[in-house]
Chains A and B, each alone.
Chain A
Amino acid sequence: AQSVSQHNHHVILSEAASLELGCNYSYGGTVNLFWYVQYPGQHLQLLLKYFSGDPLVKGIKGFEAEFIKSKFSFNLRKPSVQWSDTAEYFCAVTPYGGSQGNLIFGKGTKLSVKP
């Protein structure tokens, strides 16, 4: 069965620190990859996505993610976090051309940024 693993349950950083959140998926075929973010008290929203092409994708608010096919990974990065980045981050995958939007989510990583 397809699955998504997020390695860290809770990450605590100080402002200006660099961030990397790990995401690995298990699926043998072509996939679409996503990072969603949920700020406190708000709804899940799309941070960035990878469908094809350049494996380094840039999203909103200075986030980027790199798809490494050989490692089945799609790690999220930001060079310098801000207090406002405190949120929960979810990695998700759907098979390319698969069931409509049947996203397989990871369990999420809570990021706490200390001012």
Chain B
Amino acid sequence: DAMVIQNPRYQVTQFGKPVTLSCSQTLNHNVMYWYQQKSSQAPKLLFHYYDKDFNNEADTPDNFQSRRPNTSFCFLDIRSPGLGDAAMYLCATSLPGTLAGELFFGEGSRLTVL
């Protein structure tokens, strides 16, 4: 029944050890997003894909990368996690055009950095 699935739900890593978070969707939506949500803060857009076109937000650190090998899957790679990268990472999808903005979210991946 779940439409946007994120794995793992909880990830613990060590300072500087690369991490990959995955997201899959069964909605066949063109657009996929990664948001970062730190404790008591608003979700913040890191980047999004419109089909294969990658769009990076201007203030997203270079430490964060993303891959979208096909319509259904999208990955978030954190190359060298720092303590400040501990957060909930939310994947979302949407249709393009006039329905942009109506997002379907996964349950999130909570990253802890030791």
**Which residues of A come within 8 Å of B, CB atoms?**
4, 9, 32, 34, 36, 41-46, 49, 51, 90, 92, 94, 99-108
Is A34 touching B105 in the complex (CB atoms < 8 A)? no
In whole angstroms, how far apart are the Cα atoms of A107 and B96 in the complex? 25
Q: A100-B55, A101-B31 are in contact. Are A46 and B103 (CB under 8 A)?
A: yes
5 A–B contacts from the bound complex (CB under 8 Å): A34-B102, A36-B105, A101-B101, A103-B43, A107-B40
Q: How large is the interface on B (under 10, 10 to 19, 20 to 34, 35 or more residues)?
A: 20 to 34
Interface on B for A, CB 8 Å cutoff? 4, 31, 33, 40-45, 48, 50, 55, 57, 90, 92, 94, 96, 98, 100-108
- Which residues from B are CB-within-8-Å of A34? 101-102
The residue in chain B whose Cβ has the minimal distance to the Cβ of A98 is: B100
Q: Which residue of B lies closest to A104 (CB)?
A: B42
